[in-house]
């Protein structure tokens, strides 16, 4: 009898504990939802500040404190003052912010010379551009002059009706700007960041040709692009911005969405059917030549990702390599040593590989100012790139990008590759970013559309026998 009573009591207790447990979970869930909604309300209030938050003119001196606030107006797209972006825990040995502009230029000149010398020492003198029809030094020089004209002799021109726009069908993260815009605007209108075209000058001032015509195509002919690729598969390696390059190439060359399952090691996608051509992306922030994934608990490290891409079975399958190296905290000597070593391995393993290197872009801190501010002249492209004094105020290593890009250019060209300064186009586009905490990557369509036009033209000219 006692056992029966104990059994009944235990069953009642079990049900009581279950009910209490369920009520506890419900309370925790309710508290979490309330907290989340409260944070969202605060963010929306911050984003809906009126034009009264505009505190100064666009010509504010970099670093100047605004007399109405404790922040500063460091950059021309700011519509309100913001705290300085100095990060005290980063050692000054990795930046040159304390040097004058003249000293920084002198440092760059020396670093570029050292970088080129290091590359030549490793691979010798490379003639032409392997993997293309640029088989002589003269042809390679003319091709590189064209590339510099496309990226360095252009400007953003407002052309709302005729601007080249991609139709984004890939990762929905980069379509959030359109999704938000068209909630309150008709489908016939255009999001402001998509109303500009990159227009190049008709001639180049390059010393290699004083009358070099360099117009860009207004449209992309996918069939023609596939013809010049001629079945050569493409491998994109770099950081998360390089993943965006993967996105826009898919948007340009496919007529439907693909599935990638993340931004680390995207599976191979078909971009041409006749002949069959594939595109693949691997994330390796610093282009390291490790052959095994450095991970903890079989998961990649979250700070710097180095997914292996140099094993022979990988790089021999991709005759075209498009690279970018993310800015990280390191010395110029380390940057030169590691990048030159990677380029050496690629050239020695696949001598006829076409190597293309994309320059790194700066981010635009507080990029939401370009859309939430009340000053009409704050949106859209900048009239000119940041001055050296303004660049020195940038965080996350962006203050050193001009020098590092110049060093990369010297090494890439020394190994017979093509350096494309796509960063020059987006450096002057504080608008169109994903926004919020992401002021480095862009929504699609947007400023990155012009990258597609330049890369398309590049592949056409690399196979042009008359250049």
Spans of all domains in the chain: 97-462
Does residue 268 sit in helix, strand or coil? strand
DSSP codes, 64-106? PBPTTSSSB--STT-SS-B-----TTS-GGG--TTS-HHHHHH
The per-residue pLDDT for 216 is 93
pLDDT for the residue 256: 82
Q: Phi, psi at residue 309, to the nearest 5°? A: -135, -5
pLDDT value at residue 178: 94
pLDDT for 71 equals 75
Q: How confident is the model at residue 259, as a pLDDT?
A: 76
Place of tokens 């009573």: 5
> What is the DSSP-derived secondary structure letter of residue 174?
G
Confidence at residue 297, expressed as pLDDT on a 0 to 100 scale: 46
* Residues comprising the chain, all counted: 467
- In three-state secondary structure terms, 404 is helix
Q: How far apart are CA 222 and CA 295, in angstroms?
A: 39
Structure tokens at 149: 């004209």
Q: 97-462 is classed in which CATH architecture? A: 3-Layer(aba) Sandwich (3.40)
pLDDT in tens, the chain (467 residues): 455 444 544 455 455 565 555 566 555 555 554 444 444 334 433 333 322 222 223 333 444 444 444 578 899 999 889 988 765 544 567 889 899 999 999 999 999 999 999 999 999 989 999 999 999 999 999 999 999 999 999 999 999 988 999 999 998 999 999 999 999 999 999 999 999 999 997 544 444 444 567 999 999 999 999 999 999 999 999 999 999 999 999 999 998 888 776 677 788 999 999 899 999 999 999 999 987 765 544 444 557 899 999 999 999 999 999 999 988 888 999 999 999 999 999 999 999 999 999 999 999 999 999 875 433 345 799 999 999 999 999 998 899 999 999 999 999 999 999 999 999 999 999 999 999 999 999 999 999 999 999 999 999 999 999 98
On whether the CB atoms of residues 216 and 200 are closer than 8 A, the answer is yes
- The whole-number pLDDT of residue 72 equals 85
Q: Are 393 and 74 contacting, i.e. CB atoms less than 8 angstroms apart?
A: yes
Q: Whole-angstrom Cα distance, residue 273 to residue 100?
A: 54
- Greatest Cα pair distance, the chain, in angstroms, is 107
Q: Are 381 and 196 in contact (CB under 8 A)?
A: yes
| Helix spans in 98-230 (H) | 101-123, 137-152, 176-181, 222-229
DSSP conformational letter for 239: S
Each residue of 300-309: b (16+ CB within 10 Å) or e? beeeebbbbb
Number of C-beta neighbours around residue 137 at 10 A: 13
Q: Two tokens at 123?
A: 């691979």
Q: How far apart are CA 39 and CA 265, in angstroms?
A: 33
CB-based contacts of 194, cutoff 8 Å, min separation 6: 163, 165, 432, 445, 446, 449
In this structure, what DSSP letter does residue 398 have?
A: G
Write the DSSP string, 329-355. Answer: S--HHHHHHHHHHHHHHHHHHSTT-EE
Separation between Cα atoms, residue 84 and residue 62, nearest integer Å: 10
Let me know: does 456 contact 252? Beta carbons within 8 Å.
yes
Q: Where are the alpha helices (DSSP H) in 399-439?
A: 401-414, 423-426
Q: Which residues contact 210 (CB under 8 A, 6 or more apart)?
A: 203
| CA pair distance 188, 174, nearest whole angstrom | 20
Instruction: Please list the alpha-helical segments (H only) found in 415-467.
Output: 423-426, 449-462
pLDDT at 56: 28
Residues 6+ apart with CB under 8 A from 53: 79, 80, 373, 374
């Amino acid at each position: 009898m006692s056992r029966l009573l104990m059994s009944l009591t235990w069953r009642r207790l079990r049900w009581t504990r279950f009910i209490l447990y369920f009520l506890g979970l419900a309370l925790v869930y309710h508290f979490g939802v309330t907290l989340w909604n409260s944070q969202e309300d605060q963010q929306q209030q911050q984003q809906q500040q009126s034009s009264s938050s505009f505190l100064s003119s666009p010509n504010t001196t970099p670093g100047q404190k605004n007399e109405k606030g404790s922040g500063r107006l460091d950059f021309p797209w700011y519509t309100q003052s913001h705290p300085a972006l100095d990060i005290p825990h980063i050692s000054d040995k990795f930046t040159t912010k304390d040097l004058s502009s003249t000293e920084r230029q002198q440092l760059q000149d020396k670093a570029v010379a050292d970088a080129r010398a290091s590359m030549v020492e490793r691979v010798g003198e490379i003639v032409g551009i392997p993997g293309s029809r640029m088989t002589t030094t003269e042809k390679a020089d003319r091709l590189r002059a064209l590339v510099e004209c496309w990226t360095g002799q252009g400007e953003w021109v407002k052309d709302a009706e005729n601007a080249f726009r991609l139709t984004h069908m890939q990762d929905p993260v980069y379509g959030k700007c359109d999704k938000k815009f068209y909630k309150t605007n008709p489908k016939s209108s255009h999001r402001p960041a998509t109303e500009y075209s990159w227009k190049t000058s008709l001639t180049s001032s390059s010393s290699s040709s004083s009358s070099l015509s360099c117009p860009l195509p207004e449209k992309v002919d996918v069939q023609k692009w596939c013809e010049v690729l001629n079945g050569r598969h493409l491998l994109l390696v770099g950081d998360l911005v390089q993943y965006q390059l993967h996105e826009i190439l898919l948007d340009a060359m496919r007529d439907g969405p693909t599935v990638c399952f993340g931004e680390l090691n995207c599976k191979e996608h078909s971009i041409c059917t006749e002949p069959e051509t594939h595109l693949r992306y691997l994330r390796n922030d610093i282009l390291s030549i490790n052959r095994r994934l450095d991970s903890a608990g079989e998961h990649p490290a979250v700070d710097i990702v180095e997914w292996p891409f140099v094993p022979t079975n990988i790089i021999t399958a991709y005759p075209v390599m498009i690279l970018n190296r993310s800015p990280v905290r390191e010395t110029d000597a380390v940057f030169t040593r590691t990048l030159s070593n990677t380029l050496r391995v690629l050239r020695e393993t696949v001598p006829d590989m076409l190597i293309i290197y994309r320059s790194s872009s700066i981010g635009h801190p507080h990029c939401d100012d370009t859309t939430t501010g009340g000053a009409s002249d704050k949106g859209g492209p900048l009239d000119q790139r940041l001055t050296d004094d303004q660049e020195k105020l940038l965080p996350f290593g962006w203050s050193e990008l001009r020098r590092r890009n110049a060093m990369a250019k010297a090494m890439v060209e020394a190994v017979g590759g093509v350096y494309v300064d796509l960063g020059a186009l987006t450096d002057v586009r504080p608008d169109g970013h994903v926004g919020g905490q992401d002021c480095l990557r862009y929504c699609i369509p947007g400023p990155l559309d012009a990258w597609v036009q330049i890369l398309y033209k590049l592949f056409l000219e690399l196979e042009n026998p008359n250049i």
